[in-house]
Amino acid sequence: MPTIIMTKWPVKIDGSVKAKAMTFLQKLSADDTTPGLHVEPIAGAADSRVRTGRVDQFWRAVMFRLDGAGESHYVIHGVWPHDDAIAVATRVRLNVNPINGLPQIEQAEFERAEPAAYPAVASISPAEPLLSQLGRTRGDLVDRLGVPADVADLALAAPDEDAILDLAQQHEGWLGMILVDLATPDSIDTIAERLQLEAPEQTGDEDADLLRSLKQPAAQAQFAFIDGQEELRRVIEKGDFGSWRVFLHPEQRRYAVRRYKGPFRLSGGAGTGKTVVLIHRARVLAREQPDARIVLTTFTTNLADALRDGLAQLDPTVPQATSLNQPGVYVTGVDALAAAVIRSAGTGIADAVQSVLGDARSTPTGRTPNGRWREVIEASSSKLPSEIANETFLSAEYALVVLPNRVKNESEYRRVRRPSRGVALDRTKRDSVWALIAAYRAQGRVDGTLDFAEAAAIAAAHLATTGGQADHVLVDEGQDLSPAHWQMLRALVVESDDDLFIAEDSHQRIYGNRTVLGRYGIKIVGRSQRLTLNYRTTAQNLRYAMAVLDGGDYVDLEEQAEATGYRSARSGPTPAVEAVESLVTELDTIAGRVRSWLDGGAAPETIAVLVHDKFQRERVVNALNERGVQARAVDRDRPAEGRVLVMTMHRAKGMEFAKVVLADVGFQSAAEKARLDGLDEIERHDAELRARSLVYVAATRARDELVVIQRR
Ligand SMILES: Nc1ncnc2c1ncn2[C@@H]1O[C@H](COP(=O)(O)OP(=O)(O)OP(=O)(O)O)[C@@H](O)[C@H]1O
């Protein structure tokens, strides 16, 4: 049976043709001699491997036929109306790039989109073109990286990064990736290494050489060997947004498949495909080890829902376990995971409760309500200064010091170390803090409730004595997890190769406090890498989002300063920043923007308005509806179709939309200002970092257009 090698192009055809192309490819992959397919060479074609095939009366597929290892292979170049297909088929040629060993389809680009020609730079600006400013020469591009000469000339003439990105967008696969990299300060060697470029080996058997070239890691960002009919159907049915499932960047592929002798950490800015790598890695592990118990977890239940959907989209045949300790991939939020461990332990949880809280409960039931710390402080006659007697300080002290160290009483608290906690506590203050913690715990005991951090600490203590219940744990949004979460995950997975794989971005920490993995038994030691190519956000929006972070001192889970340099593969309009004086003007401005996008043909559910809190969310929904724009608030539920979506910036974490309005940027309510003023310096600094991170998270949700509304 012939093997189908898909390129990115055929997935861009529209609905009715897609269905016919699917039928054609299915038949082709079953038997290329089936009558009616009309797989035929073209007389006088530039490449003797070219074939056309009959999709229907009007449409033809253009393909290359390669024979290797006793099998035929079809590289599907695209589907065109009959006459266009013949014209394309006559001219295209598939060959191996003699410099970098990667496959290239020559001339194809010119038939689809005429690349922009940049006017001679001197005529528009005296500035030097970007690549020569970066010291790149034609020799670097053509002779070292294998960029075709015509494309290299356009790149060398491009005045700035945006122009290079526009050019990159016209070239699929490795060529687009090289162009994006060329606009960064990375050295030519770094670019060549990242894409694993190597001079080709020539055996004299051209088809075999081509097939080997098509299997190179960088080739797989553009060409995919399709594994069976079912996969073929999935590849064709999904539009371009689905291309993450098939065409991975060579770096993404490496992290998805590589084996590690212990925990591994993958960092990367928003939109660099960390989640994509995790989903692929879960699939690779599940396919290779069908009996393995794999846990894929993240910070919230909504994000876990998205991971579950993503895994099912990638491959519905990967078994998703419905409970812990079962073969398959168990996808769950990290707090739901703690609850599952406690639930499955039954009354056997009593020892763990005793060791963490020092009380004899065996069946904790509910969840401690929000605001409990405030109630405890208000009910006490504590003499502690306000920068200590506040919810932010106490909950952090509890999560960072008390729970991970299993402090159960005053004398243990007097002795415990409090690294990186800022505010020093003398003996009297420690005793007073402990009195509040004891009151907090007593109230939990009365109601039979646990807070999230307590539940994770208890689950960790239970697993530490009963043993691991997973073979591989994959974690997304690692920057938001608390020490007790890490202790639980460490104890959940049996220590072995590929035990923990952690994706994180410290710039996106919007919950909790900084954590250092090494303190909780997770030793990364040199097994840590970074993704740097942003797939989601245009370079213009990314620049705005990065500027929000400027000056903040972010550190990652290993206490290293977080790198900020990363690049985007896409270019678009500059974000619009609008300053407004009042709430009413803000609402009018939001409605005006949204309406103009809708009038321009955008689907309502691809537009999101992101706000700070639930009150503002309701205000915006009402204002939009009153102004005739159908809008809907998104809370825990999944976003619905047919309405403009309005949600908090926290809720938008992990999501993406074509167009985004960021509301209330820079606005601080009087209550929030008073809360921040009451914090000690370190806590306030951390709260400010989180606030910037929140705007960064929100700004990086936009794929194409971003409007920022600043309230003065
Ligand atoms: N190889 C790829 N080809 C095409 N699209 C991709 C690829 N990798 C990722 N993407 C797309 O880029 C977007 C961002 O990917 P993903 O959500 O995995 O990034 P992330 O690093 O987890 O982002 P965030 O930290 O903001 O949640 C998604 O739309 C995803 O489908």
Q: Is 462 in the pocket of ligand 1 (CB under 6 A)?
A: no
* CA of 295 relative to ligand 1 center, distance in Å: 20
Instruction: State residue 667's pLDDT score.
Output: 73
What is the interface pTM, i.e. ipTM, of the complex?
0.98
Closest Cα to atom 26, ligand 1: which residue? 270
C-alpha–C-alpha distance, residues 309 and 305, integer Å:
6
- Residue 571 φ then ψ, to 5°: -125, 150
Instruction: State residue 555's pLDDT score.
Output: 64
Strand partners, 76: 6, 63
Q: Is 243 in the pocket of ligand 1 (CB under 6 A)?
A: yes
Say which residues have a Cβ less than 8 Å from residue 614's Cβ, sequence separation at least 6. 635, 648
Of ligand 1's listed atoms, the one at least distance from the Cα of 270 is 26
Q: Is 457 in the pocket of ligand 1 (CB under 6 A)?
A: no
C-alpha–C-alpha distance, residues 118 and 157, integer Å:
6
DSSP SS3 for 323:
coil
Q: Is 253 in the pocket of ligand 1 (CB under 6 A)?
A: no
670 CB neighbour count, 10 Å cutoff: 7
Q: Which residues of 427-464 are buried (b: 16+ CB within 10 A; e: fewer)?
A: eeebebbbbbbbbbbebbeeeebbbbbbbbbbbbbbbb
Of ligand 1's listed atoms, the one at least distance from the Cα of 700 is 26
Task: Give the annotated binding-site residues for ATP.
Answer: 268-275
Query: Kindly report the CA angle at 254 between 488 and 234, in degrees rounded to 5?
Result: 90
Cβ atoms of 615 and 664 closer than 8 Å: no
Structure tokens at 122: 């001197």
Residue entry with tokens 């502690």:
384
Cβ atoms of 597 and 591 closer than 8 Å: no
Q: Is 703 in the pocket of ligand 1 (CB under 6 A)?
A: no
Cβ atoms of 503 and 478 closer than 8 Å: yes
Closest Cα to atom 3, ligand 1: which residue? 244
Q: What is the DSSP letter of 324?
A: T
Residue from 222, 244, 507, 508 to probe ligand 1 pocket by mutation (most atoms less than 8 Å from CB):
244
Q: What is the pTM of this model?
A: 0.86
* CA of 577 relative to ligand 1 center, distance in Å: 25
Q: Is 390 in the pocket of ligand 1 (CB under 6 A)?
A: no
Longest dimension (CA), the chain: 94
Q: Is 244 in the pocket of ligand 1 (CB under 6 A)?
A: yes
C-alpha–C-alpha distance, residues 63 and 367, integer Å:
59
Q: What is the DSSP letter of 402?
A: I
Q: Is 275 in the pocket of ligand 1 (CB under 6 A)?
A: yes
Q: Is 536 in the pocket of ligand 1 (CB under 6 A)?
A: yes
C-alpha–C-alpha distance, residues 147 and 163, integer Å:
17
Q: In what order do the strands lie in the sheet with 472-475?
A: 328-333, 293-298, 472-475, 500-504, 264-268, 528-531
Alpha-carbon distances, residue 211 vs 92, 93, 217, 257, 510 (angstroms): 17, 15, 13, 21, 46
Q: Is 248 in the pocket of ligand 1 (CB under 6 A)?
A: yes
Q: At how many degrees (to 10) do helices 250-257 and 274-288 cross?
A: 40
Closest Cα to atom 1, ligand 1: which residue? 248
Q: Is 478 in the pocket of ligand 1 (CB under 6 A)?
A: no
Q: Which residue stretches of 565-680 are H helix?
A: 583-599, 614-626, 670-677
Q: Is 307 in the pocket of ligand 1 (CB under 6 A)?
A: no
* CA of 570 relative to ligand 1 center, distance in Å: 13
Q: Is 247 in the pocket of ligand 1 (CB under 6 A)?
A: yes
* CA of 173 relative to ligand 1 center, distance in Å: 16
Instruction: State residue 705's pLDDT score.
Output: 95
Instruction: State residue 230's pLDDT score.
Output: 73
Strand partners, 74: 4, 65
Residue from 265, 278, 536, 693 to probe ligand 1 pocket by mutation (most atoms less than 8 Å from CB):
536
Show the beta-strand stretches assigned E in 8-112.
40-41, 50-54, 59-68, 71-81, 93-96, 103-106
Cβ atoms of 2 and 73 closer than 8 Å: yes
Residue from 275, 508, 660 to probe ligand 1 pocket by mutation (most atoms less than 8 Å from CB):
275
Cβ atoms of 271 and 537 closer than 8 Å: yes
Closest Cα to atom 5, ligand 1: which residue? 244
One-letter amino acid of 526: G
C-alpha–C-alpha distance, residues 169 and 637, integer Å:
35
Average pLDDT for runs of 10 along the chain of length 712: 80 73 88 91 93 93 90 91 92 94 76 44 62 94 95 94 88 90 92 91 90 92 82 65 73 93 93 95 97 97 94 93 96 96 92 92 81 92 86 92 94 88 86 95 92 96 95 96 96 94 90 81 86 89 85 63 71 90 92 95 95 93 94 87 93 93 83 80 82 91 93 78
Alpha-carbon distances, residue 67 vs 3, 6, 73, 195 (angstroms): 10, 16, 6, 26
Say which residues have a Cβ less than 8 Å from residue 493's Cβ, sequence separation at least 6. 295, 468, 470, 471, 472, 473, 499, 500
Structure tokens at 540: 């213009």
> SS3 sequence, 107-161?
CHHHHHCCCCCCCCHHHHCCCCCHHHHCCCCHHHHHHHCCCCHHHHHHHHHCCCH
Q: Is 271 in the pocket of ligand 1 (CB under 6 A)?
A: yes
* CA of 655 relative to ligand 1 center, distance in Å: 10
C-alpha–C-alpha distance, residues 648 and 632, integer Å:
12
* CA of 534 relative to ligand 1 center, distance in Å: 7
* CA of 86 relative to ligand 1 center, distance in Å: 36
Q: What is the DSSP letter of 69?
A: T
Q: Is 468 in the pocket of ligand 1 (CB under 6 A)?
A: no
